[in-house]
Amino acid sequence: MGKTTDQLISLAKEVSSNPVPRELDMLLTTGEQISAALLSMALNEINIKAISLNGFQAGIVTTPDFNSARIISIDKDKILNLLDENDAIVITGFQGVTEENELTTLGRGGSDTSAVALAAHLGFDVEIYSDVAGIYTTDPKLHPNAKKIKYISYDEMLELAGSGAKVLHSRSVEIAKKYNIKIYCASTFSNEEGSYVVNEELIIESPVVSGLSVMDNQVQVTIKQLPLDYTLVHSIFEKIANSGFNVDMISIINYENSLAVSFTVIQEQKHEIIEMLHNTLKELDDYHIEYHKGFSKISIVGIGMKSASGVAARFFNALKDIPIRLVTTSEIKISALIENENKQKVVDALAKEFDL
């Protein structure tokens, strides 16, 4: 059906610059309902007995968070009974209903999340089809020689999704990991074998680095000349969290009896978060806030890092001529904040270094 959700959002923006979240969900849920009904008609036309269900009919109960609801429960018995009577059930993704029967949507990646949640409740594995033939070591649009990955672990996929990879949404992978649901990703338009997201224990031998992801539109925010008071730092990040902002790549430096706190946010949040920081720190006299835009976060991910030595040395050697603003690491990930103009050079260098 193409960009149906985008078209519906555009319609909403034509009548309101800031649509009421409840009404936006009332509108957005119609898109998936159109697709589900049409697909069910098409299946019946070729003698596959099918029935379509929207989120309400399927009993997909969610939290009351409009535009970003989370699934609480699914009416498993109703769906299984209908499956006994039909060859196929077409269920709308991306949506549900609250206990008060208010329609909700699940936010970005909600269709993947719906599919995996249904599988978890019904005891099935999941196949997700798109216009991409599987999961690649990096975005083939950025690096045409990227390799397709046959098996990738939940943790690796979570790190890649959280770092900018757009194949699967992290919430769907979280559910799959929790309920040990195997996800198969392949292309709608070919019979080429796709990729499997599975439990780490099923992967016999993993490469040191499995994939590379890029997250654009990064802004670095730095608060300088803060008093040497870690309680204040805690309160800053508590206010950030309570305001609904998502910060990344945090660095705290003790320098000459003052603190400098640096972190990244996405470009769209820049003005709101700086205003919030000024309000939080208004009792202080000497603090200074800087922000710099035009950055990308480049991450390499691999469960093989757990047992391999020298990965960081190889990472920094590949980027030896590139200015790096911030670095963060985990057991299976290394991320660097670099200027956008160096993005292609960094992707190519890391892909070469780690045979991606």
Is the CA virtual torsion 153, 155, 157, 160 positive or negative? Answer: negative
Q: Which residue has the tokens 């036309």?
A: 45
Give, for 253, the enclosing helix (H) or strand (E).
strand 248-255
Rounded to 5 degrees, what are φ and ψ at 252?
-125, 120
Give the separation between CA 45 and CA 8, rounded to whole angstroms: 28
pLDDT digits (tens, 9 = 90+) for 74-131: 999 999 999 999 999 999 999 999 999 999 999 877 889 999 999 999 989 999 998 8
Q: What is the pLDDT of residue 42?
A: 98
Q: Distance between CA 43 and CA 51 in Å, rounded?
A: 9
Q: How far is CA 69 from the centre of its chain?
A: 15
Q: Are 295 and 220 in contact (CB under 8 A)?
A: yes
Q: Specify the amino acid at residue 305.
A: M
Per-residue confidence (pLDDT) for residue 315, from 0 to 100: 93
**Total residue length of the chain:** 356
Instruction: Identify the structural domains of the chain with CATH numbers, from first to last.
Output: 4-204 (3.40.1160.10), 212-353 (3.30.2130.10)
- State residue 181's pLDDT score: 92
- For the chain, the first-to-last Cα distance in angstroms comes to 33
d(Cα 157, Cα 169) in Å, to the nearest integer? 9
pLDDT at 167: 78
Contacts of 289 (CB under 8 A, 6+ apart): 221, 222, 223, 224, 274, 277, 278
Of 143, 162, 194, residue with least CA distance to 353: 143
Q: Report in angstroms the alpha-carbon separations of 255 from 191, 226, 252, 290.
A: 58, 10, 10, 17
Q: pLDDT value at position 317?
A: 92
Find residue 135's DSSP bridge partners. 149
- Residue 262's SS3 state is strand
Q: Are 356 and 209 in contact (CB under 8 A)?
A: yes
| Blockwise average pLDDT, block size 10, the chain, 356 residues | 83 91 93 94 98 95 92 94 96 94 88 93 91 89 91 90 79 92 92 91 81 90 86 86 83 85 85 84 82 91 86 92 90 92 94 92
Residue 282 pLDDT: 82
Q: What region, left, alpha or beta, does residue 331 occupy, with left being phi > 0 and alpha being psi -120 to 50 degrees?
A: alpha
Please report which helix (H) or strand (E) contains residue 233, including its range: helix 230-242
Six-digit token pair at 313? 């040395």
- DSSP H helices in 123-184: 154-162, 170-179
Token pair, residue 63, equals: 């939290």
| CA dist list (Å): 155 to 117, 196, 210, 353 | 18, 13, 11, 22
